């Protein structure tokens, strides 16, 4: 097991990702699907849409981080020239649509961003009229499809990785425990998706109210449901700042503990030191983008900008890197279908500072994630992120 908390001295020296390596698989592909003709031998105009001017300081800070990361990737490109132009969307879908019209009118050949799902839908509609593809930062599956490809880490990504981990460790009988409401239902749907992809059996599903009285009253029934269905692993969809620490502890008092059931989390548990130290969470696992690659990116960003990046900043780096890889490959082949659906959905995928990613024809993505285990206040890697899609269970 390798510790996530690496000192700067222990980090591997960052190696600029060359694009023969970034594009994991380059094969002969026909000109199909949306994507206007692009001459890859000339500077490619790329529109980067970020949530500046939303009236919320945190959005402005995130936007700055996205721009900084995208500029870092642009400076790392080798053999591919892009003209990166910034467009401010705020948090308003109407404004985002207008900015998309302006960007395409000014020559944008592909759009990176925006972040929010409403803005993504609006931008995608505008871009589709002009045969332009969109690499959105969103992780909302509902906005993917057509000319819109999402880059965010989705519930489906996380659940599939964790269900695959459970199956590989002889724990195919899985349950899901989730809070009532839209987010909880989305987590349950991700569990159902993951079970189909990995061959796991979704043996039980149970929800609880998001209040202490209702949660406490529901816990005995949930524990009995899990036990009666011989659940070997349970996926919690709640967050460390929500009901997760309470439902985990409540199940423990009713006989469902990490000692007899593998606890798994759809959210990142390492955002809470308190949770990592909670007795009822010891031995539980959750999934994250490739920690070693992310650590290298974070160190570079800190050295360049004096602050650590927002956790979403790496997505902007990877989006620009994907564009560069597509340009480089089209150059080598003398092709002009640079951003076609066929090239974007190459099954070999891409690798960036968040690890491997590939897009599916429905606009979703598949990712190689690492599995981390809670260990006395720390989070340790127990199953490293794969660096290719060849043997990734569920994909």
Residue span of the structural domain in which 28 resides: 14-153+291-367
Same domain, residue pair 165 and 228: yes
Q: Which is more confidently placed, 3 or 112? A: 112
The answer on 178 and 67 residing in a single domain is no
**Among the listed ranges 11-20, 31-40, 203-212, 270-279, which one has the minimum average pLDDT value?**
11-20
Domain co-membership, 268 together with 300: no
The answer on pLDDT for 391 being more than 70 is no
**Residue 394 — pLDDT band, cuts 50, 70, 90?**
low
Q: How many domains does the chain have?
A: 2
| Domain shared by 260 and 379, yes or no | yes
Overall average pLDDT of the 71-91 stretch: 95
Q: Is residue 394 assigned to a domain?
A: no
Give the pLDDT score at 37: 86
* pLDDT, position 395: 52
User: Domain check: are 121 and 32 in the same one?
Assistant: yes
Given a cut of 80, whether residue 51 has pLDDT beyond it is yes
Q: Does one domain contain both 120 and 258?
A: no
DSSP 8-state code for residue 279 = G
Give CB contacts under 8 A, 24+ apart, made by 137-145: 137/66, 137/112, 137/113, 137/312, 137/315, 137/316, 137/319, 138/114, 141/364, 142/117, 143/117, 144/362, 144/363, 144/364, 145/362, 145/363
More confident residue, 81 or 28: 81
Domain-embedded: residue 1: no
Question: Are 107 and 247 in a shared domain?
Answer: no
In a domain, 134, yes or no: yes
> pLDDT, tens digit, for every residue of 137-162?
999 999 999 999 999 999 999 999 99
Of residues 394 and 99, more confidence is placed in: 99
Say yes or no: 196 and 248 in one domain.
yes
CATH of the domain at 210: 3.40.50.2300
Confidence of residue 330 (pLDDT cuts 50, 70, 90): very high
Percent of the chain with pLDDT over 90: 85
Task: For residue 306, give every residue at least 6 positions away whose Cβ sits within 8 Å of its Cβ, in sequence order, or none.
Answer: none
The answer as to whether 390 is a domain residue is no
Residues 241 and 167 in one domain: yes
Residue 3 located in a structural domain:
no
pTM score over 0.85: yes
Q: Per-residue pLDDT tens for 83-96?
A: 999 999 998 999 99
b (16+ CB within 10 A) / e for 319-349: bbbbbbbbbbbbbebebbbbbbbbbbbbeeb
Is the domain of 94 the same as that of 242? no
d(Cα 139, Cα 181) in Å, to the nearest integer?
Answer: 18
Q: Of 366, 349, 235, 359, whose CA–CA distance to 289 is shortest?
A: 366
* pLDDT tens per residue across span 14-47: 333 443 335 544 333 333 345 668 888 899 999 9
């Amino acid at each position: 097991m390798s510790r996530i908390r690496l000192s700067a001295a222990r980090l591997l020296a960052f190696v600029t990702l060359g694009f023969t390596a970034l594009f994991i698989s380059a094969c002969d592909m026909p000109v199909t699907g949306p994507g206007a003709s692009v001459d890859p031998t000339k500077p490619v105009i790329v529109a980067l849409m970020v949530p500046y001017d939303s009236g919320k300081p945190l959005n402005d800070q995130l936007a700055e981080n996205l721009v900084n990361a995208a500029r870092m990737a642009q400076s790392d490109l080798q053999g591919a020239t892009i003209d990166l132009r910034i467009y401010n969307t705020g948090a308003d879908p109407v404004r985002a649509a207008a900015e998309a019209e302006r960007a395409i009118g000014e020559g944008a050949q592909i759009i990176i961003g925006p972040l929010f799902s409403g803005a993504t839908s609006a931008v995608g509609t505008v871009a589709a009229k002009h045969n332009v593809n969109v690499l959105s930062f969103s992780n909302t599956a509902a906005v993917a499809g057509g000319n819109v490809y999402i880059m965010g880490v989705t519930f489906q990504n996380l659940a599939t990785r964790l269900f695959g981990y459970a199956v590989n460790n002889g724990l195919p009988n899985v349950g899901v425990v989730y809070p009532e409401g839209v987010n909880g239902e989305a987590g349950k749907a991700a569990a159902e998706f993951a079970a189909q992809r990995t061959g796991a059996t979704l043996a039980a599903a149970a929800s609880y109210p998001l209040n202490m009285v209702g949660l406490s009253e529901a816990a005995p029934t949930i524990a009995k449901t899990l036990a009666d269905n011989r659940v070997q692993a349970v996926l919690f969809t709640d967050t460390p700042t929500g009901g997760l620490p309470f439902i985990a502890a409540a199940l423990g008092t009713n006989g469902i503990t990490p000692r007899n059931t593998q606890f798994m989390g759809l959210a990142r548990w390492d955002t809470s030191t308190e949770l990592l130290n909670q007795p009822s969470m010891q031995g539980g696992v959750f999934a994250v983008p490739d920690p070693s690659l992310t650590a290298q990116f974070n160190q570079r960003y800190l050295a360049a900008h004096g602050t650590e990046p927002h956790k979403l900043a790496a997505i902007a780096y990877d989006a620009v890197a994907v564009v560069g890889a597509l340009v480089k490959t089209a150059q080598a082949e003398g092709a002009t279908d640079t951003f076609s659906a066929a090239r974007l959905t190459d099954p070999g995928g891409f690798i960036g500072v968040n690890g491997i990613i590939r897009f599916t024809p429905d606009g979703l993505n598949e990712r190689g994630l690492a599995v981390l285990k809670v260990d006395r206040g720390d989070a340790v890697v127990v199953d490293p992120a794969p660096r290719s899609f060849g043997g990734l269970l569920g994909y």
